[in-house]
């Protein structure tokens, strides 16, 4: 009898695990419809720039329409600038961002965001904890994301996040690496606005 009860318990646990697995759903990010905006600025001057970076690929795992993990790959070679109208200055800025002074995109062609934990804040809003990899360096990151839905099904995730570029060895104009930069000092904070479509 004791062995029978143990066997039944094992079967119940296994059934529960497989039931949970069957409820998991991995949805692919639509790279063509998704957008990522970046925003950067100098510290002492009202000199700001913004642009876009393309999503290369990505996926989000849901259980009962609740996100549990995600993996987003960003194409760093796709960096653009939106605020400079002069083609010459626009190309100069984009070229500088792609150079070794900033993101060294020929060497580090991809950046990744790996979301490992989603904690519900309210409604469809979640605190997201995970890791960001830029220029081959990985650091923890936390931000807030909102799951977009239609007819009760997830259609995408919108998120606002920021990161300290100095932690990823992006040195140019950074007060973390150089002193006495004056009005050439560039903020270490880069802000990101992501609209990921599923």
pLDDT at 190: 97
pLDDT at 7: 53
pLDDT at 132: 98
Q: Compute and round to an integer the Cα radius of gyration of the chain.
A: 21
Give the chain's mean pLDDT: 90
43 burial via Cβ count (<10 Å: 0-12, 13-18, 19+)? middle
CA dihedral 92, 185, 107, 114 (to 10 degrees): -120
pLDDT at 21: 47
Q: Note the pLDDT tens digit of each residue in 69-98.
A: 999 999 999 999 999 999 999 999 999 999
Q: What mean pLDDT comes out for the span 124-147?
A: 97
pLDDT at 182: 81
Q: Note the pLDDT tens digit of each residue in 8-58.
A: 555 554 444 444 445 789 999 999 999 999 999 988 777 899 999 999 999
The larger pLDDT score, comparing residue 185 to residue 59, is at 59
Number of domains in the chain: 1
Cα angle, residue 124 at apex, residues 122 and 129 outer, rounded to 5° = 80
Q: Tell me which residue range forms the domain holding 148.
A: 2-197
The beta-strand segments (E) located in 42-152 are: 48-63, 66-75, 110-122, 125-134, 137-150
- What CATH code is carried by the domain that includes residue 38? 2.40.128.110
- pLDDT-derived band at 4 (thresholds 50, 70, 90) equals low
pLDDT at 43: 87
Q: What mean pLDDT comes out for the span 143-169?
A: 95
Asked if the model's pLDDT at residue 128 lies above 50, the reply is yes
């Amino acid at each position: 009898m004791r062995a029978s009860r143990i066997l039944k318990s094992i079967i119940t646990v296994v059934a529960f695990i497989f039931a949970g697995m069957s409820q998991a759903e991995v949805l692919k990010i639509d790279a063509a419809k998704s957008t990522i905006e970046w925003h950067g600025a100098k510290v002492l001057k009202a000199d700001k720039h913004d642009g876009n970076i393309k999503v290369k690929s990505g996926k989000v795992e849901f259980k009962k329409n609740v996100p549990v993990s995600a993996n987003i790959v960003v194409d760093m070679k796709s960096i653009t600038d939106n605020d400079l109208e002069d083609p010459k200055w626009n190309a100069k800025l984009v070229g500088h961002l792609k150079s070794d002074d900033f993101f060294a995109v020929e060497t580090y062609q991809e950046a990744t965001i790996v979301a490992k934990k989603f904690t519900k804040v309210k409604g469809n809003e979640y605190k997201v904890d995970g890791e960001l990899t830029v220029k081959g360096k990985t650091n923890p990151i936390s931000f807030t994301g909102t799951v977009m839905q239609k007819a009760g099904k997830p259609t995408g995730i919108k998120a606002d996040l920021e990161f300290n570029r100095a932690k990823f060895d992006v040195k140019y104009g950074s007060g973390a690496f150089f002193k006495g930069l004056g009005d050439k000092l560039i903020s270490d904070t880069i802000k990101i606005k992501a609209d990921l479509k599923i």
